[in-house]
Amino acid sequence: MRPYSPGLEGVIAAETALGFVDGANGRLLYRGYPIGQLVEHGTYSAVAELLWTGEWRPDARLTTAPIPGPVMTALRALPPTAKPMDALRTAVSVWGATQVLEWPPTPEQARAVTSFSPSALAAFARLRRGLEPIEPDPALDLVTGFLTQLNGERPDPATARALDAYFIVGAEHGLNASTFTARVIISTRSDIASAVSGAIGAMKGPLHGGAPSEVVEQLHRVGTPEHAEQWVREALDRGERLMGFGHRVYRAYDPRAAALRKVAESMEHKPDWLDLAIKVEDVALRVLAERHPERPLKTNVEYYAAAVLQGVGLTPDLFPATFALARHAGWTAHVLEQVAANKLIRPDARYVGPAERDLPV
């Protein structure tokens, strides 16, 4: 009898040179480079290129790409009530149908879908508000271009820098559910658009991509830094969980949260949301350590993801889809790694149904 692992927990299903998640020691490496150094010295474009090719090119540049006509037609046909993740998944699927995506996938294909998707999400976000989409500006980098297409004006450098840092820390995180989905799909010799569409579908689930919006609701309830300690203590007294603290993998401070906090603290004019998040975190960590000295409950990336995404002006329902934009680099890098030594991913299942029997007559 071979062992059964529900959810494949603990099963080694792939070997990767892309990301190393060291939960015990609070480390995250992309191709060996610590996430903090990548945020401090790199850009999302450079990090994406590192994941795709293994080369560190600080001058690498991605821009947002135009939306093909059939994709725009599909986006206009969606109701304004559609979820942004559904719109993004639909857009990538239609985009794939307009492209010649030959096997095997290439870094050029990875760059193309990663550049297209921000334009598609920004277009849907404007269409549902009754506004016309904005054409991409090839003079702007991908994150600045996305915010410009979303809001109709170029963001200030600090805002663009904060979101670029979020994109970097969200780019890759091992064999999580959506990344595994992408590798399963591409292992069948399907195309990169199908793999990314499937990954978006996996990330849509609230167990994977929905936590930052809950942090926003929590910070709303706290209200002000002066109210933080009373609110935290009363919430814990009621047995409530503090959103943004604790992680399934990390037992130390999440290095992605540390990198985002450093960016937030360096902003000359911090938005009120970022300032509130920093002060509430300090209170929460102190009270959690006091209440649960036996359990390491440290800040996770969702906490500062929420603060940054709110701080740059995104509405909470755009958070999961923006996370998906950031993860495009990692998904497509895993696609390229999978096809380099491809083997169809096809685990077995243990049958637990009835023994052989005859139909009743």
Extract the tokens encoding 118: 């921000």
Active-site residue, selected from the candidate residues 302, 328, 334, 337: 302
In whole angstroms, what is the distance from residue 113 CA to residue 175 CA?
20
Closest CA to 46 of 147, 164, 158: 164
Average pLDDT, 10 consecutive residues per value, the chain (361 residues): 83 93 88 96 98 97 98 98 97 98 97 98 98 98 98 94 95 95 98 98 82 80 90 91 75 82 76 80 90 80 84 89 97 98 93 96 90
Q: Which domains are seen in the chain, by residue range?
A: 44-51+57-203+318-340 (1.10.580.10), 211-311 (1.10.230.10)
pLDDT value for 6: 86
Helix H segments across 270-318? 272-291, 301-311
pLDDT value for 10: 83
HSE toward the beta carbon, residue 239, CA cutoff 13 A: 0
pTM, to two decimals? 0.92
Closest CA to 91 of 108, 79, 74, 69: 74
| Residue 277 and residue 335 in contact, taking contact as beta carbons nearer than 8 Å | no
Q: What is the pLDDT of residues 311-349, one digit of tens each?
A: 888 998 999 999 999 999 999 999 999 999 999 999 999
Mutual angle of helices 319-340 and 177-187, in 10-degree steps = 40
Active-site residue, selected from the candidate residues 173, 247, 328, 334: 247
pLDDT value for 168: 97
pLDDT value for 248: 65
Neighbours of 207 (CB within 10 A): 9
pLDDT value for 251: 63
Catalytic, 173? Answer no
In whole angstroms, what is the distance from residue 219 CA to residue 281 CA?
10
Catalytic, 337? Answer no
